[in-house]
Amino acid sequence: MGIASADNEWGSPPEPLVLARNEVHVWRASLDFAGLKLKCLQRLLSVDEQQRAKRFVGPKDRDAFIAARGLLRLILSRYLVQEPEALCFHYGLHGKPALVPELNPDRLCFNLSHSAGLALYAVVINQEVGVDLERVHPDVPYEAIARRFFSAQESATLLALPAHERCQAFFNCWTRKEAYVKAQGRGIALPLNQFDVSLAPREPTALLSIDGNSQAAARWTLQALDPDPDYVAALVILGQDWQIKCWQWQG
């Protein structure tokens, strides 16, 4: 299991903002933007991002996409000392965004996730990272989903827990697995049942095995995050001894 230290305090970042090579910065931000503020974020987006925004049927999802991508540009611009609207992205085989190399001399890597009006952004130097955030919904049919998508061990662990702990355990498992998939950048090409994570509420957060191999899993750091009482989140990054610093976006 990778070792990390995380403060989970969500304080204000220092000035100047410095990202050390053994650090992961995780930003928490509200996506509750409307009117002029939302239009200002929209103006930061590239043509293709604005076209993607138009494809959302519902205005709530469209506005969340605009806010999330606009804030991504603002956050990354602080590290790169570039204008946010000047940043250029390219996309991996399975759609994971990355900065184009010629405008990214420090090899900054990032990942983002948003759910129900809240967003998390993970930023690191020269290492693929994955973050996932979900708002807890007690009415989700989590037992059926676990049987279909989780590994046999995870599903058995979930169903063995007391009933009042199963919802929290399900979202623990889901966010940890999604964060690992996002770190790998393989999307649905990586089946969720081919690796195991811890999920019980009082159990240490860990990636337990990959294709049954615990040594392969030990190369990764899996860290639970605590962005809000109504949400569950996790971060995954290759390597050990990371310092995870949590910042609150103000703006």
Backbone angles phi, psi at 173, to 5 degrees: -65, -45
Least confident of 1-15, 21-35, 148-162, 209-223: 1-15
CATH architecture of 4-132+240-248: Alpha-Beta Complex (3.90)
CA 149 to chain centre: 19
Decide: 219 and 183 in contact? Cβ < 8 Å.
no
Backbone angles phi, psi at 7, to 5 degrees: -90, -30
Decide: 223 and 235 in contact? Cβ < 8 Å.
yes
18-44 pLDDT tens trace: 999 999 999 999 999 989 999 999 999
147-177 pLDDT tens trace: 999 999 999 999 999 999 999 999 999 999 9
Q: Is the peptide bond before 16 cis (omega within 30 degrees of 0)?
A: yes
Same fold across 4-132+240-248 and 134-238: yes
Closest CA relative to residue 172, chosen from 133, 144, 145: 133
What angle, rounded to 10 degrees, do the helices at 152-160 and 163-184 form?
Answer: 150
pTM of the model: 0.95
Distant-in-sequence, close-in-space partners of 150: CB < 8 Å, separation ≥ 6: 158, 173, 177, 192, 193
CATH architecture of 134-238: Alpha-Beta Complex (3.90)
Higher-scoring residue by pLDDT: 138, 186: 138
Residue with tokens 């925004």: 53
Q: How far apart are CA 230 and CA 84, in angstroms?
A: 31
For the chain, what are the domain ranges?
A: 4-132+240-248, 134-238
Closest CA relative to residue 218, chosen from 186, 240, 235, 233: 240
